[in-house]
Structure 1
Amino acid sequence: MSDLLPALSLDGVRRVLCVVAHPDDVEYGTSSAVAAWTAAGVEVSYLLLTRGEAGMDSSPPERTAQVRTREQVAGAAEVGVTDVVFAEHPDGVLVYGLDLRRDIARRIREVRPDTVVTGSWEVEGFVGLNQADHRAAGLASVDAVRDAGNRWVFGELLDDGLEPWEVTRLLVAGDSRPTHGVDVGGEPLRRGIASLEAHAEYLAGLPGHPAPADMLPFIAAMQGRAMGVEHAVLFRVHDLQGPPPELRDELARRGMTPPDEPTG
């Protein structure tokens, strides 16, 4: 039996919403997968919870917000995404709580995606300790996908004409326990590199930051080995309409059939 991770199926995937804390968060790898999805006809939207205004030490927040907003929109366009919304939470002090959950749930009901993508909320990640805003964004996204489907949570959304919406899958990028991957070899990786390069002014202010054309292929090659391909982006997939993998495996071991569920 192969230990390689399976490819993420696009069966039934029509619309994806990516929820992250800052401009450039999607571009550190995930955007290559986005390029593969948009090339296959999937509609992808971005929700940025902040404008990244605290991210450039040499630039005042007001100017930085303008720079990073402009660069994010340009980076998204490189991978076929034109629907980019900013939620206007303050950068660097993103707080997990009801306001954040409500804003994400609102956008889910507006976009009506079958799949939501966010980043890991683990404290320790692939590149070291995970930044606080990233953790808050990921955890709030987990809860917001449920909030979006619950008529009796955030009733003000109903007042605004936003009916409940059930998300089918949650994909977590950067999770230490990936379950599936997306082959991004060739054009998707090239476009993903271009999306990060669009953040030129921001990257120029990070001393010693490797060139995107060097860094992203290196990371994608590491992840590709888990799939047996040259370059990949990995995700932990949570099927929101079926049992978790551990329970499914145990049911199978006992000869019991789990409820019908979409393929990974």
Structure 2
Amino acid sequence: MVPHPDDPEYGVAAAVAKWTSQGKHVRYALACRGEAGIPGMPPEECGPLREREQRESSAIVGVDDVEFWDFPDSQIFNTPELRAKIAETITELAPDVVVTLYSGPEWAPGAPNQRDHIEFSNAVAAAYDSLTDKPRWLFENGPGGTHAEVVDDFIDVAVASLAAHDVYLSVYKPDVPVLEQAHQQVDMTTLPPLPGFEGHRAVEFILKRQSDS
């Protein structure tokens, strides 16, 4: 569960590719279609384009089940409406694990987290807490993880998945080739080696909730 298109690819795509290769079913739920994400492009053009890029990107890592909720891009807040939609989706799917984005203020010193990310992640935690029948685990993907997934064999597919956001990345950093941007981002989120995982590429996860229900 994430707020925007491309959010999975900026963090968990390598882990998702590994999970789907093992036969696990992964479903993506996104709060918006990213309609405000490309400067100079009108929302009615940007939203469908970014949805197409997200579906193409998701398919590369084996995710064909992608849902968009149409909350307003860049105006995502921890509201009762958002919490209700998250809780409804979790109840409908009854997953073993829910993964969302990092809710902390900074990814690293001087690298602030987006407000949409923080608000959405807090809404996910609140919705999880409201459920009678909770998934076994709720994780955030972010720094200082309590858990990690080794993804040595899934770096290239993660790069391809992020690079599928071709138009978005071309506008985001027009002077850097899309594939180079994708390599840089995947390297940043899977390197340097985590303690206990030396010699391996890994994706970090923070355990936020655990339930025996």
2:169 maps to which of 196, 203, 219:
203
| SS of the residue 1:20 aligns to | coil
Report deviation, 1:238: 3.2
What is the match of residue 151 of structure 2?
A: 184
Q: Are residue 141 (structure 1) and residue 124 (structure 2) matched? A: yes
How many residues in Structure 1 have an aligned counterpart in Structure 2? 207
| 1:22-81 residue CA offsets vs partner (Å, 9 max, x unmatched) | 000000130111011111111100000011111100211110001100000111101110
1:169 maps to which of 137, 144, 164:
137
Distance change >3 Å, CA 214–CA 121, structure 1 → 2: closer
Residue identity matched to 2:140: V
- 8 Å Cα contact 1:183-1:229 kept in structure 2: no
1:66 maps to which of 36, 40, 48:
48
- 8 Å Cα contact 2:147-2:205 kept in structure 1: yes
| SS of the residue 1:145 aligns to | helix
Distance 1:20 1:81 in 2: 14
- 8 Å Cα contact 2:10-2:185 kept in structure 1: no
Distance change >3 Å, CA 206–CA 88, structure 1 → 2: same
| 1:84-139 residue CA offsets vs partner (Å, 9 max, x unmatched) | 00011000011111100001111111211010000111112237111111011100
1:46 maps to which of 28, 53, 76:
28
Q: If the length of structure 2 is used for normalisation, what is the TM-score?
A: 0.91
Residue identity matched to 1:130: N
Distance 2:189 2:106 in 1: 17
Q: If the length of structure 1 is used for normalisation, what is the TM-score?
A: 0.74
1:83 maps to which of 65, 73, 78:
65
* RMSD over aligned Cα atoms: 1.7
Q: Are residue 32 (structure 1) and residue 14 (structure 2) matched? A: yes
Matching of residues 1-264 of structure 1 within 5 Å? 19-126=1-108, 128-147=111-130, 149-150=131-132, 165-174=133-142, 176-186=143-153, 188-207=154-173, 208=175, 210-222=180-192, 224-226=193-195, 227-241=197-211
Distance 1:198 1:78 in 2: 9
Uncovered stretches (5+) of structure 1, i.e. residues with no partner: 1-18, 151-164, 243-260
Distance 1:123 1:64 in 2: 28
Distance 1:215 1:196 in 2: 9
> Which is higher, the Rg of structure 1 or of structure 2?
1
| SS of the residue 1:41 aligns to | coil
Report deviation, 1:144: 1.2
Distance 1:225 1:141 in 2: 26
What is the match of residue 9 of structure 1?
A: none
| SS of the residue 1:113 aligns to | coil
Report deviation, 1:219: 3.2
- 8 Å Cα contact 1:29-1:192 kept in structure 2: no
